[in-house]
A and B are shown apart, each in its own frame.
Chain A
Amino acid sequence: MESIEELAPQKPSGESFLVASLKAAVRPIGVVALALLIGMGIILYTQENPFIAYQNLLIAPFQSWDTFSNVLFYAIPLVLTGLATLVSFRANVFNIGTEGQLQLGALVTAWGALTFSGLPAVVLVPFIIALGALAGMIWSGIAGWMRAYLGATELVSTLMMSYIAIDITTYFVTPGGPLAGPGGATNLIPLKAQFPTIGNELLHWGIIVPILAVIAVYLLLYRTPLGYEIRMVGANPSFALFGGVPVPRVILATSLITGILAGVAGAVQVMGFAHQYATSFTDPQWGWTGVTVALLARLEPIGVVVAALLYALLEEGTQLMQNNTNVDHNIIGVVQGLIILFVTAQIAVAWLRRRRASATPAVEAA
């Protein structure tokens, strides 16, 4: 069975960690370049100057710490949601509900920060992050359990659960709701529950969380028995089953980990970015972008960092482009969609080439 494991680079055992990481890092760039080229065509079609637009989009963000720190700032949630998606997808579990898990995690974190504001910061900060993680974990776990033990397709259930989560969180903060402060949001969380900013920028110390998460997910996948089982289930579930892997338990575990990471992403966004939970939290679609980031990274933890930074660059660049040119920022959304389509096509072509090279008699269905 062809599987999503194809997305991951096949790692020859002799290859050093550095080389493998570099390869994973460089690979997305070609795809992005192709998508940007088409974007250029679209900009030309709208009768704007693509060079000025791309100067703003791709180069301007590097020209000052002000703008570059924003790139790092935008990458924070994307690394976390990208990793969240990665863990499930690696086991061939298509959990596309990270958006809702993130929202729920964010809401519960905001609630925790407001309710337990008496606790000292050293206790409060880890405690409310854990609360967010727990909320995401439970939400993702429901769909994960249904997939693992009933065989209910997680594509539909995770997405439906995501919609429900967004309805719930929206209800809590719309005027009249249980946690509603002024203007469709909770009250601001206490200062001690907020991540301090770095300098005068938007960037905050919450950036430590995604860094730790990348290391944790890398170690989980490649250095633990569970990680080995996840990769095995992703590669071939029936083989894994006959090899003694408790497949349903692994599927459930990946769902729980996905939920934890998505919930933490929500927590970090509340503590570092908004300092409250607001209905507008659904606008940036951090969860959905995480799916794209994970696919772009070919389900490699290090690749997720690169892909998230690329997306963050597009995000900051889009802002600059919008400020300085008349180019429609929605073009970037189209470019992002094209990126994944190309990623999938690229994998397919690589697969066909490998298949032709191996020249074994193919058993074709057709």
Chain B
Amino acid sequence: MWHEIFNSQLIAEAFGAAATIFIFGGLGYLFTDRAGVFNITIEGLLLFSAFFAAVVAGVTNNLLLGIAAGIASSIVVSIIFFAISIGLKADIIVVGIAINLLASSTTVFLLNHWFGNEGLYQPANLPTIPNASIPLLDRLPVLGPTFSDQSLFSYLAWLMVPACVVLLYHTPLGLRIRSVGENPEAAATVGINVVRTQFTAIIICAILSGLGGCYLSIGPLSGFNRDMSAGQGWIALAAETLGAGTPIGTFVSAVFFGAAQGMASNMQAVGIGASGIAHSIPYAATVIGLAVASRREYIRRRMRRGRTPTAPTEAEVAPAPQVLSGG
């Protein structure tokens, strides 16, 4: 039984299939987080882009147009998010919740309106992102399955990790994003346009989440299901938190959550007892990961102050989500 749950297929799943969305979403959230924007719309962005990618790819029978539509829809929604939350200075969390609810209802409405089906869009000729193997690496003993017959977007997701490291740590834009997130007032005094930098970060996040959404609907699953994001955008958010806001850390956490997901689907495939319960393994892993990340943060702060805290600091009480709060 254990052999079946932890077989090499699982490792392949973890690296390839299951982790892909967490990597895209987590890296996307990372840019907004580092720019001091508490962007909880990843879940909605995944759903919107998955929907429009599938619909446009299906209707035009053109894969690239589908991908473009997925990314474009994610960007449009993100601009609305930016305009209301930062432009109008509305409560960023409430706007995020609204966007996520809208994603769910709008996609179901359009699904029914355009295709007369409330749950599923799966045309026979839907073009999907092709799979590929990486020569030589796919011959590796244990990791072989990871590099053979995976979606091109999975490889793209891994490539995004070094790309994000470069963008965040070795470009002027990355420096601006980090300074704005670190201390907006100080960034503004040295001439950085805080709002524009945050807008850029939101758009980067939209593109990455859009790629994740494309993978969701025109990747291995090939088709759109209602609410198919199923909390994966939130898990991506947790992956970034557990990864301490660094691209590498986010990648590692995403693979961890991907492994949990892979284990869950293996258990369900094998049909182990409470296989319905297995479905919640990734969610449980996320809660635990979040607790570990927060505990680590807590200890780090305590060590820095060099004493046992009698009362928690403000940061412990409220992890300051609303950075751009104006007054």
CB within 8 Å of B: which residues of A? 1-4, 6-7, 46, 92, 94, 96, 142-143, 146, 150-153, 155-157, 159-161, 163-164, 167-168, 170-171, 174, 177, 237-238, 241, 247-248, 251, 288, 291-292, 295, 328, 330-331, 333-334, 336-338, 340-341, 343-345, 347-349, 351-352, 355, 362-366
- Given A151-B298, A153-B290, do A248 and B109 touch, yes or no (CB 8 Å)? no
Chain A residues whose C-beta falls within 8 Å of the C-beta of B283 in the assembled complex: 160-161, 163-164, 167
Is B84 among interface residues, defined by CB-CB distance under 8 A?
Answer: yes
Chain B residues whose C-beta falls within 8 Å of the C-beta of A4 in the assembled complex: 91, 93-94
Chain A residues whose C-beta falls within 8 Å of the C-beta of B193 in the assembled complex: 366
Q: Across the interface, do A365 and B185 meet the contact criterion of CB distance under 8 Å? A: yes
Interface of B is mostly: helix
- Residue pairs across A and B with Cβ atoms less than 8 A apart, 12 shown, are A3-B91, A3-B322, A4-B91, A160-B287, A161-B287, A167-B280, A237-B314, A248-B312, A330-B108, A330-B112, A341-B95, A365-B185
Chain A residues whose C-beta falls within 8 Å of the C-beta of B99 in the assembled complex: 341
- Listed stretches B147-155, B213-221, B248-256, B271-279; interface member: B271-279
Q: Across the interface, do B319 and A337 meet the contact criterion of CB distance under 8 Å? A: no
Known: A7-B91, A151-B315, A344-B95. 10 other contacts (CB 8 A): A1-B322, A3-B91, A151-B294, A157-B291, A171-B276, A177-B276, A237-B314, A292-B101, A363-B327, A364-B326
A-contact bits for B99-122, CB 8 A (1 contact / 0 none): 101101110110011000010000
> Complex Cα distance A347/B93, Å?
13
Contact of A344 among B91, B104, B108, B315 (CB under 8 A): B91
Q: Which of A46, A167, A333, A365 has the most CB of B within 10 A?
A: A365
Chain A residues whose C-beta falls within 8 Å of the C-beta of B311 in the assembled complex: 241
Is B228 among interface residues, defined by CB-CB distance under 8 A?
Answer: no
Q: Across the interface, do B312 and A334 meet the contact criterion of CB distance under 8 Å? A: no
Q: Across the interface, do B188 and A365 meet the contact criterion of CB distance under 8 Å? A: yes
- Given A160-B286, A334-B106, A365-B185, do A344 and B276 touch, yes or no (CB 8 Å)? no
* Chain B positions 135-183 with a Cβ under 8 Å from a chain A Cβ: none
> Complex Cα distance A90/B231, Å?
25
Q: Across the interface, do B276 and A170 meet the contact criterion of CB distance under 8 Å? A: yes
Chain B residues whose C-beta falls within 8 Å of the C-beta of A238 in the assembled complex: 314, 317-318
- Given A1-B322, A241-B314, A328-B109, do A341 and B280 touch, yes or no (CB 8 Å)? no
A-contact bits for B181-197, CB 8 A (1 contact / 0 none): 00011001000011100
Chain B residues whose C-beta falls within 8 Å of the C-beta of A171 in the assembled complex: 274, 276-277
Chain A residues whose C-beta falls within 8 Å of the C-beta of B185 in the assembled complex: 365
Chain A residues whose C-beta falls within 8 Å of the C-beta of B276 in the assembled complex: 167, 170-171, 174, 177
Chain B residues whose C-beta falls within 8 Å of the C-beta of A151 in the assembled complex: 294, 297-298, 312, 315-317, 319
Chain A residues whose C-beta falls within 8 Å of the C-beta of B320 in the assembled complex: 1
Q: Which of B238, B280, B321 has the most CB of A within 10 A?
A: B280
Q: Across the interface, do B113 and A328 meet the contact criterion of CB distance under 8 Å? A: yes
Chain B residues whose C-beta falls within 8 Å of the C-beta of A366 in the assembled complex: 184, 188, 193-195
Q: Across the interface, do A330 and B97 meet the contact criterion of CB distance under 8 Å? A: no
Least CB distance from B102 to A in Å reads 4
- Given A330-B113, A334-B106, A344-B98, do A168 and B280 touch, yes or no (CB 8 Å)? yes
Chain A residues whose C-beta falls within 8 Å of the C-beta of B104 in the assembled complex: 333, 337
Q: Across the interface, do A150 and B109 meet the contact criterion of CB distance under 8 Å? A: no
Q: Across the interface, do A365 and B286 meet the contact criterion of CB distance under 8 Å? A: no
Least CB distance from A285 to B in Å reads 9
Q: Which residue of A lies closest to B198 (CB)?
A: A366
Q: Which residue of B lies closest to A1 (CB)?
A: B325
> Complex Cα distance A7/B84, Å?
15
Q: Which of B94, B99, B185, B284 has the most CB of A within 10 A?
A: B94
Is B206 among interface residues, defined by CB-CB distance under 8 A?
Answer: no
Is B241 among interface residues, defined by CB-CB distance under 8 A?
Answer: yes
Is B237 among interface residues, defined by CB-CB distance under 8 A?
Answer: yes
- Given A241-B317, A341-B95, do A153 and B231 touch, yes or no (CB 8 Å)? no
Is B71 among interface residues, defined by CB-CB distance under 8 A?
Answer: no
Contact of A164 among B106, B109, B280, B326 (CB under 8 A): B280
Q: Across the interface, do A351 and B89 meet the contact criterion of CB distance under 8 Å? A: yes
- Given A156-B241, A330-B118, A348-B89, do A337 and B102 touch, yes or no (CB 8 Å)? yes
Chain A residues whose C-beta falls within 8 Å of the C-beta of B319 in the assembled complex: 151, 153
Q: Which residue of A lies closest to B230 (CB)?
A: A163
> Complex Cα distance A145/B167, Å?
37
Q: Across the interface, do B237 and A156 meet the contact criterion of CB distance under 8 Å? A: yes
Q: Across the interface, do A355 and B327 meet the contact criterion of CB distance under 8 Å? A: yes
Chain B residues whose C-beta falls within 8 Å of the C-beta of A292 in the assembled complex: 101
- Given A7-B91, A160-B286, A167-B277, do A330 and B327 touch, yes or no (CB 8 Å)? no
- Given A344-B84, A362-B327, do A155 and B94 touch, yes or no (CB 8 Å)? no
Q: Please provide the 3 A-B residue pairs with the shortest distance between their CB atoms, ordered closest to farther.
A: A333-B105, A337-B102, A348-B90
